[in-house]
Protein backbone atom coordinates (compact mmCIF):
# COMPACT_ATOMS: atom_id res chain seq x y z
CA UNK A 1 0.00 0.00 0.00
CA UNK A 2 1.32 3.50 -0.68
CA UNK A 3 1.40 6.24 1.94
CA UNK A 4 -1.58 8.07 0.55
CA UNK A 5 -3.87 5.09 0.81
CA UNK A 6 -2.48 4.17 4.20
CA UNK A 7 -3.24 7.69 5.45
CA UNK A 8 -6.68 7.54 3.86
CA UNK A 9 -7.40 4.19 5.52
CA UNK A 10 -6.54 5.54 8.96
CA UNK A 11 -8.54 8.74 8.46
CA UNK A 12 -11.48 6.68 7.25
CA UNK A 13 -11.35 4.58 10.39
CA UNK A 14 -11.39 7.68 12.59
CA UNK A 15 -13.86 9.90 10.71
CA UNK A 16 -16.31 7.34 9.38
CA UNK A 17 -15.95 8.57 5.80
CA UNK A 18 -15.05 6.00 3.18
CA UNK A 19 -11.43 5.50 2.26
CA UNK A 20 -12.20 6.44 -1.36
CA UNK A 21 -13.83 9.70 -0.30
CA UNK A 22 -10.80 10.67 1.71
CA UNK A 23 -8.32 9.59 -0.91
CA UNK A 24 -10.05 11.86 -3.38
CA UNK A 25 -9.64 14.79 -1.00
CA UNK A 26 -6.02 14.30 -0.04
CA UNK A 27 -3.92 16.94 -1.72
CA UNK A 28 -0.28 17.31 -2.55
CA UNK A 29 0.88 20.49 -0.80
CA UNK A 30 2.15 23.22 -3.10
CA UNK A 31 5.37 23.65 -1.11
CA UNK A 32 7.84 21.00 -0.04
CA UNK A 33 8.01 22.24 3.56
CA UNK A 34 4.26 21.70 3.92
CA UNK A 35 4.70 17.96 3.85
CA UNK A 36 4.02 15.18 1.39
CA UNK A 37 0.25 14.97 1.71
CA UNK A 38 -2.40 17.26 3.12
CA UNK A 39 -5.92 16.56 4.26
CA UNK A 40 -8.30 19.57 4.20
CA UNK A 41 -10.54 19.33 7.25
CA UNK A 42 -13.28 21.64 5.87
CA UNK A 43 -15.06 18.67 4.46
CA UNK A 44 -15.74 17.34 7.96
CA UNK A 45 -16.91 20.67 9.42
CA UNK A 46 -20.59 20.20 8.68
CA UNK A 47 -20.84 16.65 9.94
CA UNK A 48 -18.79 17.26 13.08
CA UNK A 49 -20.16 20.78 13.72
CA UNK A 50 -16.70 22.01 14.52
CA UNK A 51 -14.36 24.56 12.98
CA UNK A 52 -11.85 22.99 10.56
CA UNK A 53 -8.77 24.06 12.60
CA UNK A 54 -10.26 22.36 15.65
CA UNK A 55 -10.88 19.21 13.66
CA UNK A 56 -7.30 19.29 12.37
CA UNK A 57 -5.96 19.62 15.94
CA UNK A 58 -8.20 16.82 17.21
CA UNK A 59 -7.10 14.50 14.43
CA UNK A 60 -3.46 15.19 15.09
CA UNK A 61 -3.94 14.32 18.76
CA UNK A 62 -5.80 11.11 17.93
CA UNK A 63 -3.76 8.06 18.97
CA UNK A 64 -5.22 5.96 16.21
CA UNK A 65 -3.51 8.11 13.56
CA UNK A 66 -0.33 6.18 13.98
CA UNK A 67 1.43 5.31 10.73
CA UNK A 68 4.94 3.97 10.39
CA UNK A 69 7.41 6.62 9.16
CA UNK A 70 4.66 9.23 8.88
CA UNK A 71 4.28 12.28 11.12
CA UNK A 72 1.16 14.48 11.13
CA UNK A 73 1.14 18.24 11.77
CA UNK A 74 -1.92 20.47 11.94
CA UNK A 75 -1.63 23.86 10.25
CA UNK A 76 -4.86 25.86 10.32
CA UNK A 77 -7.62 23.81 8.69
CA UNK A 78 -5.12 21.35 7.23
CA UNK A 79 -3.62 18.19 8.53
CA UNK A 80 -0.24 17.83 6.84
CA UNK A 81 1.61 14.54 6.65
CA UNK A 82 5.38 14.22 6.53
CA UNK A 83 6.84 10.95 5.43
CA UNK A 84 10.25 10.22 6.84
CA UNK A 85 12.66 11.09 4.01
CA UNK A 86 14.60 7.85 3.79
CA UNK A 87 11.56 5.65 3.66
CA UNK A 88 9.87 8.05 1.20
CA UNK A 89 12.89 7.71 -1.08
CA UNK A 90 12.99 3.95 -0.83
CA UNK A 91 9.26 3.57 -1.42
CA UNK A 92 9.19 5.97 -4.37
CA UNK A 93 12.21 4.53 -6.14
CA UNK A 94 11.19 0.96 -5.38
CA UNK A 95 7.80 1.66 -6.90
CA UNK A 96 9.15 3.27 -10.04
CA UNK A 97 11.78 0.63 -10.70
CA UNK A 98 9.43 -2.26 -10.17
CA UNK A 99 6.61 -0.81 -12.28
CA UNK A 100 8.81 0.68 -15.00
CA UNK A 101 6.80 2.23 -17.82
CA UNK A 102 3.62 1.29 -15.97
CA UNK A 103 4.49 3.53 -13.03
CA UNK A 104 1.54 5.85 -13.68
CA UNK A 105 -0.78 3.06 -14.82
CA UNK A 106 -4.04 2.55 -12.95
CA UNK A 107 -7.16 0.53 -13.56
CA UNK A 108 -9.58 3.43 -13.24
CA UNK A 109 -10.61 2.90 -16.83
CA UNK A 110 -11.00 -0.87 -16.64
CA UNK A 111 -14.01 -1.97 -18.62
CA UNK A 112 -14.65 1.57 -19.90
CA UNK A 113 -14.46 2.81 -23.43
CA UNK A 114 -13.36 6.26 -24.55
CA UNK A 115 -13.71 7.51 -28.08
CA UNK A 116 -11.15 10.20 -28.88
CA UNK A 117 -11.64 12.06 -32.13
CA UNK A 118 -8.64 14.02 -33.30
CA UNK A 119 -6.80 15.25 -36.38
CA UNK A 120 -9.80 15.13 -38.77
CA UNK A 121 -8.18 17.06 -41.64
CA UNK A 122 -9.95 17.93 -44.87
CA UNK A 123 -8.92 15.79 -47.81
CA UNK A 124 -7.39 17.43 -50.87
CA UNK A 125 -6.29 20.28 -48.64
CA UNK A 126 -2.88 20.94 -47.09
CA UNK A 127 -2.25 19.55 -43.61
CA UNK A 128 -1.41 22.73 -41.80
CA UNK A 129 -0.07 23.60 -38.37
CA UNK A 130 -3.58 24.13 -36.98
CA UNK A 131 -4.44 20.50 -37.72
CA UNK A 132 -1.28 19.50 -35.93
CA UNK A 133 -2.74 20.97 -32.74
CA UNK A 134 -5.69 18.56 -32.62
CA UNK A 135 -3.49 15.74 -33.88
CA UNK A 136 -0.90 16.14 -31.14
CA UNK A 137 -3.27 16.86 -28.24
CA UNK A 138 -5.58 14.03 -29.29
CA UNK A 139 -2.76 11.54 -29.70
CA UNK A 140 -1.49 12.41 -26.24
CA UNK A 141 -4.95 12.09 -24.66
CA UNK A 142 -5.42 8.71 -26.31
CA UNK A 143 -2.13 7.52 -24.82
CA UNK A 144 -2.99 8.94 -21.40
CA UNK A 145 -6.35 7.17 -21.29
CA UNK A 146 -4.77 3.90 -22.39
CA UNK A 147 -2.29 4.25 -19.53
CA UNK A 148 -5.22 4.60 -17.14
CA UNK A 149 -6.72 1.36 -18.35
CA UNK A 150 -9.42 2.68 -20.69
CA UNK A 151 -10.18 1.00 -23.95
CA UNK A 152 -9.50 3.84 -26.38
CA UNK A 153 -10.94 4.18 -29.89
CA UNK A 154 -9.05 6.70 -32.01
CA UNK A 155 -11.27 8.31 -34.62
CA UNK A 156 -10.22 10.44 -37.54
CA UNK A 157 -13.36 12.24 -38.76
CA UNK A 158 -12.05 13.17 -42.20
CA UNK A 159 -13.50 16.18 -43.97
CA UNK A 160 -14.25 14.32 -47.19
CA UNK A 161 -17.67 15.63 -48.10
CA UNK A 162 -19.04 18.74 -49.71
CA UNK A 163 -19.81 20.55 -52.92
CA UNK A 164 -16.12 21.31 -53.38
CA UNK A 165 -15.66 17.74 -54.57
CA UNK A 166 -17.98 18.46 -57.47
CA UNK A 167 -15.67 21.35 -58.34
CA UNK A 168 -12.58 19.19 -58.00
CA UNK A 169 -14.02 16.58 -60.33
CA UNK A 170 -14.81 19.18 -62.97
CA UNK A 171 -11.39 20.78 -62.53
CA UNK A 172 -9.58 17.47 -62.67
CA UNK A 173 -11.26 16.45 -65.90
CA UNK A 174 -10.31 19.76 -67.48
CA UNK A 175 -6.83 20.44 -66.15
CA UNK A 176 -5.71 17.52 -64.00
CA UNK A 177 -2.17 16.32 -64.48
CA UNK A 178 -1.91 12.65 -63.60
CA UNK A 179 1.84 12.73 -63.20
CA UNK A 180 1.85 15.70 -60.88
CA UNK A 181 -1.00 14.18 -58.94
CA UNK A 182 1.05 11.10 -58.24
CA UNK A 183 4.08 13.13 -57.28
CA UNK A 184 2.47 15.64 -54.93
CA UNK A 185 -1.26 14.95 -54.78
CA UNK A 186 -2.31 17.72 -52.47
CA UNK A 187 -0.34 20.41 -54.30
CA UNK A 188 -1.92 19.34 -57.57
CA UNK A 189 -5.44 19.17 -56.16
CA UNK A 190 -4.95 22.60 -54.64
CA UNK A 191 -3.66 23.99 -57.94
CA UNK A 192 -6.68 22.84 -59.93
CA UNK A 193 -9.05 23.91 -57.17
CA UNK A 194 -7.66 27.44 -57.19
CA UNK A 195 -7.77 27.45 -60.98
CA UNK A 196 -11.39 26.39 -60.89
CA UNK A 197 -12.31 29.44 -58.86
CA UNK A 198 -10.45 31.74 -61.22
CA UNK A 199 -11.99 30.25 -64.35
CA UNK A 200 -15.43 30.08 -62.80
CA UNK A 201 -15.59 33.87 -62.73
CA UNK A 202 -15.28 33.90 -66.52
CA UNK A 203 -17.30 30.79 -67.28
CA UNK A 204 -20.46 30.17 -65.24
CA UNK A 205 -20.86 26.88 -67.10
CA UNK A 206 -18.21 25.51 -64.76
CA UNK A 207 -20.45 26.15 -61.78
CA UNK A 208 -23.22 24.09 -63.37
CA UNK A 209 -20.82 21.30 -64.24
CA UNK A 210 -19.50 21.19 -60.67
CA UNK A 211 -23.01 21.08 -59.26
CA UNK A 212 -23.92 18.29 -61.66
CA UNK A 213 -20.83 16.32 -60.71
CA UNK A 214 -21.56 16.70 -57.04
CA UNK A 215 -25.09 15.44 -57.62
CA UNK A 216 -23.73 12.40 -59.44
CA UNK A 217 -21.28 11.80 -56.65
CA UNK A 218 -24.12 11.95 -54.15
CA UNK A 219 -26.12 9.47 -56.19
CA UNK A 220 -23.20 7.09 -56.26
CA UNK A 221 -22.44 7.35 -59.96
CA UNK A 222 -19.39 5.07 -60.42
CA UNK A 223 -17.17 7.48 -62.39
CA UNK A 224 -17.53 10.39 -60.00
CA UNK A 225 -17.24 8.13 -56.98
CA UNK A 226 -14.05 6.64 -58.40
CA UNK A 227 -12.48 10.07 -58.81
CA UNK A 228 -13.49 11.16 -55.34
CA UNK A 229 -12.05 7.93 -53.96
CA UNK A 230 -8.84 8.59 -55.77
CA UNK A 231 -8.58 12.06 -54.23
CA UNK A 232 -9.36 10.63 -50.82
CA UNK A 233 -6.90 7.75 -51.06
CA UNK A 234 -4.13 10.01 -52.30
CA UNK A 235 -4.74 12.50 -49.52
CA UNK A 236 -4.64 9.70 -46.98
CA UNK A 237 -1.27 8.58 -48.29
CA UNK A 238 0.03 12.08 -47.55
CA UNK A 239 -1.62 12.26 -44.13
CA UNK A 240 -0.50 8.77 -43.17
CA UNK A 241 3.07 9.67 -43.95
CA UNK A 242 2.81 12.50 -41.45
CA UNK A 243 1.09 10.33 -38.85
CA UNK A 244 3.74 7.69 -39.24
CA UNK A 245 6.49 10.24 -38.91
CA UNK A 246 4.95 11.40 -35.65
CA UNK A 247 4.38 7.83 -34.48
CA UNK A 248 0.60 7.75 -34.44
CA UNK A 249 -2.24 5.64 -35.79
CA UNK A 250 -6.03 5.65 -35.89
CA UNK A 251 -8.63 2.95 -35.52
CA UNK A 252 -11.26 4.51 -37.72
CA UNK A 253 -11.10 6.92 -40.67
CA UNK A 254 -14.80 7.29 -41.39
CA UNK A 255 -15.19 10.74 -42.80
CA UNK A 256 -18.16 13.04 -43.19
CA UNK A 257 -19.18 11.36 -46.43
CA UNK A 258 -19.79 8.16 -44.48
CA UNK A 259 -22.15 9.95 -42.11
CA UNK A 260 -23.83 11.91 -44.91
CA UNK A 261 -25.33 8.57 -45.94
CA UNK A 262 -26.99 8.34 -42.53
CA UNK A 263 -28.70 11.73 -42.89
CA UNK A 264 -32.16 10.27 -43.59
CA UNK A 265 -31.98 8.33 -40.38
CA UNK A 266 -31.14 11.49 -38.44
CA UNK A 267 -34.02 13.41 -40.03
CA UNK A 268 -36.48 10.57 -39.40
CA UNK A 269 -35.40 10.24 -35.79
CA UNK A 270 -35.78 13.97 -35.14
CA UNK A 271 -39.12 14.06 -36.93
CA UNK A 272 -40.42 11.15 -34.95
CA UNK A 273 -39.50 12.92 -31.74
CA UNK A 274 -41.21 16.05 -32.99
CA UNK A 275 -38.11 18.14 -32.71
CA UNK A 276 -37.93 19.52 -36.24
CA UNK A 277 -39.38 22.95 -36.91
CA UNK A 278 -39.49 24.84 -40.17
CA UNK A 279 -37.62 28.11 -40.24
CA UNK A 280 -37.19 30.13 -43.45
CA UNK A 281 -37.55 26.97 -45.47
CA UNK A 282 -34.95 25.07 -43.44
CA UNK A 283 -35.59 22.29 -40.93
CA UNK A 284 -34.11 23.17 -37.55
CA UNK A 285 -34.11 22.02 -33.94
CA UNK A 286 -34.77 25.06 -31.70
CA UNK A 287 -32.46 25.18 -28.70
CA UNK A 288 -33.81 28.22 -26.82
CA UNK A 289 -33.87 26.30 -23.55
CA UNK A 290 -30.09 25.94 -23.82
CA UNK A 291 -29.75 29.64 -24.70
CA UNK A 292 -28.13 28.89 -28.03
CA UNK A 293 -29.23 29.36 -31.65
CA UNK A 294 -31.21 26.57 -33.33
CA UNK A 295 -29.32 23.72 -34.97
CA UNK A 296 -30.00 23.55 -38.70
CA UNK A 297 -30.55 19.98 -39.88
CA UNK A 298 -31.71 20.42 -43.46
CA UNK A 299 -31.11 23.53 -45.52
CA UNK A 300 -33.94 24.99 -47.59
CA UNK A 301 -32.74 23.02 -50.63
CA UNK A 302 -33.03 19.83 -48.62
CA UNK A 303 -29.29 19.20 -48.26
CA UNK A 304 -27.62 18.36 -44.96
CA UNK A 305 -25.04 20.41 -43.11
CA UNK A 306 -21.94 19.73 -41.05
CA UNK A 307 -24.03 19.41 -37.86
CA UNK A 308 -26.35 16.80 -39.39
CA UNK A 309 -23.33 14.65 -40.17
CA UNK A 310 -21.99 15.09 -36.66
CA UNK A 311 -25.30 13.94 -35.22
CA UNK A 312 -25.12 10.86 -37.43
CA UNK A 313 -21.55 10.33 -36.23
CA UNK A 314 -22.56 10.35 -32.57
CA UNK A 315 -25.26 7.78 -33.25
CA UNK A 316 -22.70 5.67 -35.07
CA UNK A 317 -20.17 5.95 -32.26
CA UNK A 318 -22.65 5.03 -29.61
CA UNK A 319 -24.02 2.12 -31.57
CA UNK A 320 -20.61 0.71 -32.42
CA UNK A 321 -18.64 1.46 -29.32
CA UNK A 322 -21.06 2.10 -26.45
CA UNK A 323 -18.66 4.76 -25.27
CA UNK A 324 -18.46 5.91 -21.67
CA UNK A 325 -16.99 9.11 -23.00
CA UNK A 326 -16.82 10.65 -26.47
CA UNK A 327 -14.16 13.33 -26.83
CA UNK A 328 -13.75 15.78 -29.72
CA UNK A 329 -10.40 17.49 -29.97
CA UNK A 330 -11.37 20.35 -32.28
CA UNK A 331 -10.43 24.05 -32.30
CA UNK A 332 -12.22 26.34 -29.87
CA UNK A 333 -14.02 28.30 -32.64
CA UNK A 334 -16.25 25.22 -33.06
CA UNK A 335 -17.42 25.30 -29.44
CA UNK A 336 -20.92 26.47 -30.34
CA UNK A 337 -21.26 23.84 -33.05
CA UNK A 338 -20.58 21.06 -30.55
CA UNK A 339 -22.84 22.62 -27.95
CA UNK A 340 -25.63 22.58 -30.51
CA UNK A 341 -24.97 19.01 -31.58
CA UNK A 342 -24.81 17.72 -27.99
CA UNK A 343 -27.93 19.70 -27.07
CA UNK A 344 -29.88 18.21 -29.95
CA UNK A 345 -28.95 14.75 -28.71
CA UNK A 346 -29.92 15.66 -25.18
CA UNK A 347 -33.23 17.05 -26.37
CA UNK A 348 -33.81 13.85 -28.32
CA UNK A 349 -33.51 11.98 -25.04
CA UNK A 350 -30.08 10.40 -25.47
CA UNK A 351 -28.44 10.47 -22.06
CA UNK A 352 -25.05 9.79 -23.58
CA UNK A 353 -25.11 13.42 -24.72
CA UNK A 354 -23.77 14.18 -21.24
CA UNK A 355 -20.73 12.01 -21.95
CA UNK A 356 -19.75 13.98 -25.03
CA UNK A 357 -17.00 16.53 -24.53
CA UNK A 358 -15.55 19.16 -26.81
CA UNK A 359 -11.88 19.72 -26.02
CA UNK A 360 -10.89 22.99 -27.65
CA UNK A 361 -7.54 24.62 -28.29
CA UNK A 362 -6.07 27.93 -29.38
CA UNK A 363 -4.32 29.31 -32.43
CA UNK A 364 -0.85 28.78 -33.81
CA UNK A 365 1.41 31.78 -34.39
CA UNK A 366 5.00 32.29 -35.44
CA UNK A 367 7.68 34.62 -34.17
CA UNK A 368 10.42 35.55 -36.64
CA UNK A 369 9.87 32.46 -38.72
CA UNK A 370 9.43 32.44 -42.45
CA UNK A 371 7.81 29.64 -44.37
CA UNK A 372 6.57 29.38 -47.89
CA UNK A 373 2.86 29.60 -47.37
CA UNK A 374 0.19 28.21 -49.64
CA UNK A 375 -3.55 28.58 -50.02
CA UNK A 376 -4.82 31.13 -47.51
CA UNK A 377 -1.47 31.73 -45.84
CA UNK A 378 -1.24 28.41 -44.04
CA UNK A 379 2.02 26.87 -42.87
CA UNK A 380 2.30 23.17 -43.60
CA UNK A 381 3.13 20.85 -40.75
CA UNK A 382 5.59 19.06 -43.00
CA UNK A 383 7.54 22.28 -43.61
CA UNK A 384 7.62 23.01 -39.88
CA UNK A 385 8.89 19.51 -39.09
CA UNK A 386 11.48 19.55 -41.87
CA UNK A 387 12.84 22.92 -40.86
CA UNK A 388 12.97 22.00 -37.20
CA UNK A 389 14.75 18.72 -37.90
CA UNK A 390 17.24 20.55 -40.09
CA UNK A 391 18.00 23.09 -37.40
CA UNK A 392 18.26 20.37 -34.77
CA UNK A 393 20.72 18.51 -36.95
CA UNK A 394 22.91 21.63 -37.12
CA UNK A 395 22.90 22.00 -33.33
CA UNK A 396 23.60 18.31 -32.72
CA UNK A 397 26.46 18.06 -35.17
CA UNK A 398 27.96 21.24 -33.75
CA UNK A 399 27.67 19.91 -30.19
CA UNK A 400 29.16 16.58 -31.17
CA UNK A 401 32.12 18.39 -32.74
CA UNK A 402 32.82 20.45 -29.61
CA UNK A 403 32.52 17.39 -27.38
CA UNK A 404 34.58 15.31 -29.72
CA UNK A 405 31.83 12.69 -29.68
CA UNK A 406 31.99 9.94 -32.24
CA UNK A 407 28.64 9.46 -33.87
CA UNK A 408 27.98 8.42 -37.42
CA UNK A 409 26.12 10.86 -39.63
CA UNK A 410 23.31 8.34 -39.88
CA UNK A 411 22.96 8.23 -36.14
CA UNK A 412 22.96 12.00 -35.89
CA UNK A 413 20.28 12.27 -38.55
CA UNK A 414 18.16 9.77 -36.70
CA UNK A 415 18.58 11.69 -33.44
CA UNK A 416 17.85 15.01 -35.18
CA UNK A 417 14.62 13.59 -36.63
CA UNK A 418 13.40 12.47 -33.21
CA UNK A 419 14.53 15.56 -31.32
CA UNK A 420 13.27 17.93 -34.02
CA UNK A 421 9.84 16.33 -34.09
CA UNK A 422 9.89 16.20 -30.30
CA UNK A 423 10.59 19.94 -30.22
CA UNK A 424 7.53 20.63 -32.38
CA UNK A 425 5.26 18.30 -30.43
CA UNK A 426 6.43 19.71 -27.11
CA UNK A 427 5.60 23.25 -28.17
CA UNK A 428 2.00 22.15 -28.70
CA UNK A 429 1.69 20.44 -25.33
CA UNK A 430 3.73 22.62 -23.01
CA UNK A 431 1.00 25.13 -22.17
CA UNK A 432 -2.69 24.94 -21.40
CA UNK A 433 -4.30 23.96 -24.69
CA UNK A 434 -6.64 26.92 -24.82
CA UNK A 435 -3.75 29.34 -25.01
CA UNK A 436 -2.41 30.39 -28.40
CA UNK A 437 0.97 28.94 -29.30
CA UNK A 438 3.81 31.11 -30.47
CA UNK A 439 6.52 29.16 -32.22
CA UNK A 440 10.05 30.49 -32.06
CA UNK A 441 13.22 28.60 -32.89
CA UNK A 442 15.04 30.05 -29.90
CA UNK A 443 12.52 28.58 -27.48
CA UNK A 444 11.91 25.28 -29.26
CA UNK A 445 15.56 24.50 -29.58
CA UNK A 446 16.75 25.94 -26.29
CA UNK A 447 18.65 23.00 -24.82
CA UNK A 448 18.44 24.59 -21.40
CA UNK A 449 14.88 25.90 -21.44
CA UNK A 450 11.41 24.42 -21.26
CA UNK A 451 11.81 22.39 -24.43
CA UNK A 452 11.86 18.82 -25.69
CA UNK A 453 15.60 18.99 -26.44
CA UNK A 454 16.22 19.86 -22.78
CA UNK A 455 14.17 16.91 -21.54
CA UNK A 456 15.53 14.53 -24.13
CA UNK A 457 19.07 15.62 -23.39
CA UNK A 458 18.55 15.16 -19.66
CA UNK A 459 17.24 11.67 -20.37
CA UNK A 460 20.07 10.73 -22.74
CA UNK A 461 22.76 12.05 -20.41
CA UNK A 462 21.30 10.15 -17.45
CA UNK A 463 21.23 7.01 -19.53
CA UNK A 464 24.85 7.50 -20.33
CA UNK A 465 25.68 7.78 -16.61
CA UNK A 466 23.94 4.45 -16.11
CA UNK A 467 25.78 2.88 -19.03
CA UNK A 468 29.10 4.11 -17.77
CA UNK A 469 28.38 2.79 -14.29
CA UNK A 470 27.39 -0.58 -15.61
CA UNK A 471 30.60 -0.77 -17.66
CA UNK A 472 32.38 -0.35 -14.32
CA UNK A 473 30.30 -3.04 -12.70
CA UNK A 474 28.16 -0.61 -10.72
CA UNK A 475 24.43 -1.33 -10.77
CA UNK A 476 21.55 0.70 -9.35
CA UNK A 477 20.28 -0.68 -6.06
CA UNK A 478 16.83 0.55 -5.01
CA UNK A 479 17.08 -1.23 -1.66
CA UNK A 480 19.69 1.35 -0.64
CA UNK A 481 17.52 4.32 -1.59
CA UNK A 482 16.85 5.25 2.04
CA UNK A 483 20.29 6.86 1.92
CA UNK A 484 18.84 9.59 -0.29
CA UNK A 485 17.77 12.15 2.26
CA UNK A 486 19.43 15.34 0.99
CA UNK A 487 17.35 18.44 0.24
CA UNK A 488 17.88 18.25 -3.50
CA UNK A 489 17.28 14.53 -3.56
CA UNK A 490 14.06 15.06 -1.68
CA UNK A 491 12.85 17.75 -4.11
CA UNK A 492 13.57 15.41 -7.00
CA UNK A 493 11.88 12.46 -5.32
CA UNK A 494 8.79 14.52 -4.72
CA UNK A 495 8.64 15.47 -8.39
CA UNK A 496 8.92 11.78 -9.26
CA UNK A 497 6.35 10.69 -6.71
CA UNK A 498 3.82 13.22 -8.00
CA UNK A 499 4.04 11.95 -11.57
CA UNK A 500 1.12 9.49 -11.43
CA UNK A 501 -1.06 12.22 -9.97
CA UNK A 502 -0.07 14.55 -12.84
CA UNK A 503 -1.11 11.88 -15.35
CA UNK A 504 -4.42 11.46 -13.59
CA UNK A 505 -5.04 15.22 -13.59
CA UNK A 506 -4.06 15.50 -17.25
CA UNK A 507 -6.73 12.92 -18.05
CA UNK A 508 -9.39 14.57 -15.92
CA UNK A 509 -8.84 18.02 -17.41
CA UNK A 510 -7.88 16.95 -20.96
CA UNK A 511 -4.62 18.83 -20.47
CA UNK A 512 -1.44 17.02 -21.53
CA UNK A 513 0.56 19.98 -20.25
CA UNK A 514 0.11 18.70 -16.71
CA UNK A 515 2.44 15.90 -17.73
CA UNK A 516 4.95 18.08 -19.59
CA UNK A 517 5.06 20.38 -16.58
CA UNK A 518 5.74 17.47 -14.25
CA UNK A 519 8.57 15.92 -16.23
CA UNK A 520 10.09 19.36 -16.75
CA UNK A 521 10.12 19.67 -12.95
CA UNK A 522 11.75 16.25 -12.66
CA UNK A 523 14.43 17.27 -15.18
CA UNK A 524 15.12 20.62 -13.50
CA UNK A 525 15.35 19.06 -10.05
CA UNK A 526 17.54 16.30 -11.37
CA UNK A 527 19.91 18.75 -13.02
CA UNK A 528 20.14 20.81 -9.85
CA UNK A 529 20.97 17.68 -7.88
CA UNK A 530 23.41 16.49 -10.52
CA UNK A 531 25.27 19.82 -10.62
CA UNK A 532 25.83 19.80 -6.88
CA UNK A 533 26.32 16.15 -6.03
CA UNK A 534 28.42 13.49 -7.52
CA UNK A 535 26.93 10.20 -8.65
CA UNK A 536 29.82 8.07 -9.83
CA UNK A 537 32.19 9.75 -7.41
CA UNK A 538 29.91 9.70 -4.39
CA UNK A 539 31.46 9.08 -0.95
CA UNK A 540 30.89 5.35 -0.86
CA UNK A 541 29.72 2.47 -3.01
CA UNK A 542 26.32 2.23 -1.36
CA UNK A 543 25.57 5.88 -1.99
CA UNK A 544 26.67 5.45 -5.62
CA UNK A 545 24.26 2.54 -6.08
CA UNK A 546 21.46 4.42 -4.37
CA UNK A 547 21.99 7.46 -6.59
CA UNK A 548 22.16 5.26 -9.66
CA UNK A 549 18.76 3.90 -8.66
CA UNK A 550 17.57 7.51 -8.51
CA UNK A 551 18.97 8.04 -12.04
CA UNK A 552 17.10 5.00 -13.22
CA UNK A 553 13.88 6.33 -11.71
CA UNK A 554 14.43 9.71 -13.38
CA UNK A 555 14.89 8.01 -16.75
CA UNK A 556 11.78 5.90 -16.29
CA UNK A 557 9.59 8.89 -15.47
CA UNK A 558 10.96 11.22 -18.14
CA UNK A 559 10.59 8.54 -20.80
CA UNK A 560 7.10 7.69 -19.66
CA UNK A 561 6.09 11.37 -19.69
CA UNK A 562 7.62 12.03 -23.10
CA UNK A 563 5.91 8.97 -24.56
CA UNK A 564 2.54 10.03 -23.14
CA UNK A 565 2.99 13.33 -24.93
CA UNK A 566 3.77 11.49 -28.15
CA UNK A 567 7.54 12.09 -28.10
CA UNK A 568 10.03 9.29 -28.60
CA UNK A 569 13.16 9.45 -26.44
CA UNK A 570 16.72 8.96 -27.73
CA UNK A 571 19.40 7.02 -25.89
CA UNK A 572 22.26 9.23 -26.98
CA UNK A 573 22.44 12.83 -28.03
- Which spans of this chain sit near ligand ARG (rule: CB under 6 A)? 117, 120-122, 157, 159, 310, 313, 328, 330
**Nearest to ligand ARG of 310, 489 (CB atom):** 310
E-strand ranges in 245-300 read 277-279, 282-285, 295-298
Task: Answer whether 447's CB lies under 8 Å from 52's CB.
Answer: no
φ, ψ for residue 296 (rounded to 5)?
-75, 135
**Nearest to ligand ARG of 120, 283 (CB atom):** 120
- Collapsing DSSP states into helix, strand and coil, what is residue 541? helix
Calculate ∠ Cα 513-523-463, nearest 5°: 120
**Nearest to ligand ARG of 329, 495 (CB atom):** 329
Q: How far is the CB of 138 from ligand ARG (least distance, A)?
A: 11
**Nearest to ligand ARG of 217, 327 (CB atom):** 327
CB closest to ligand ARG, residue no: 159
> Phi-psi bin for 41: left (phi > 0), alpha (psi -120 to 50), beta?
alpha
- Collapsing DSSP states into helix, strand and coil, what is residue 74? strand
Q: How far is the CB of 121 from ligand ARG (least distance, A)?
A: 6
State the Cα–Cα distance between residues 439 and 447, nearest whole angstrom.
15
Instruction: Give the bridge partners for 364, in sequence order.
Output: 437
Q: How far is the CB of 158 from ligand ARG (least distance, A)?
A: 7
Q: How far is the CB of 522 from ligand ARG (least distance, A)?
A: 35
**Per residue, what are the HEC states of 336-364?**
HHHHHHHHHHHHCCCHHHHHEEEECCCCE
**Nearest to ligand ARG of 43, 357 (CB atom):** 357
State the Cα–Cα distance between residues 271 and 284, nearest whole angstrom.
10
Q: How far is the CB of 259 from ligand ARG (least distance, A)?
A: 9
Catalytic residues: 125, 128, 131
φ, ψ for residue 328 (rounded to 5)?
-115, 115
Q: How far is the CB of 246 from ligand ARG (least distance, A)?
A: 18
**Nearest to ligand ARG of 381, 480 (CB atom):** 381
Q: How far is the CB of 120 from ligand ARG (least distance, A)?
A: 4
| Of 123, 393, 387, 408, nearest in space to 253 by CA | 123
Q: How is 293-304 classified by DSSP, letter by letter?
A: PPEEEE-TTS-B
Q: How far is the CB of 323 from ligand ARG (least distance, A)?
A: 14
Calculate ∠ Cα 516-517-521, nearest 5°: 115
**Nearest to ligand ARG of 293, 449 (CB atom):** 293
Task: Answer whether 545's CB lies under 8 Å from 475's CB.
Answer: yes
**Nearest to ligand ARG of 193, 441 (CB atom):** 193
Q: What is the tally of helices (H) and strands (E) in the chain?
A: 23, 12
The CA-atom distances, in angstroms, between 55 and each of 12, 25, 47, 60, 80 are 14, 15, 11, 9, 13
Task: Answer whether 443's CB lies under 8 Å from 407's CB.
Answer: no
| Pairing of the two strands 356-359 and 325-329 | parallel
Entry field: residues in the chain: 573
Amino acid sequence: MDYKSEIAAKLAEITGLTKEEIEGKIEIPPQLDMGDYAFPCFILAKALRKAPPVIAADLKADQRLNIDSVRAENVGPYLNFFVEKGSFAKKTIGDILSKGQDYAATNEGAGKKIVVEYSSPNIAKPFHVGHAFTTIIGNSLAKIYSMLGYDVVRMNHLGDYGTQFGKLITAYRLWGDEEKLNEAPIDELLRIYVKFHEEEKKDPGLTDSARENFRKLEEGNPEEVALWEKFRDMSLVVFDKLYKRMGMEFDNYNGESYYAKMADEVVDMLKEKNLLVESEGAQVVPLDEYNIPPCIILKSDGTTIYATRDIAAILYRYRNYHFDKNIYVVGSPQALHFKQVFSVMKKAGFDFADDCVHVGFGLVKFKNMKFSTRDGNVVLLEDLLDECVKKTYEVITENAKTRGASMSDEEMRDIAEKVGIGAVIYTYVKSGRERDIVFSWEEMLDFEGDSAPYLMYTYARTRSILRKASENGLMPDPSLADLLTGEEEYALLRALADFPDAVHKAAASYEPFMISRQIALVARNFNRFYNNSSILNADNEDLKKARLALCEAVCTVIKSGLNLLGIEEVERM
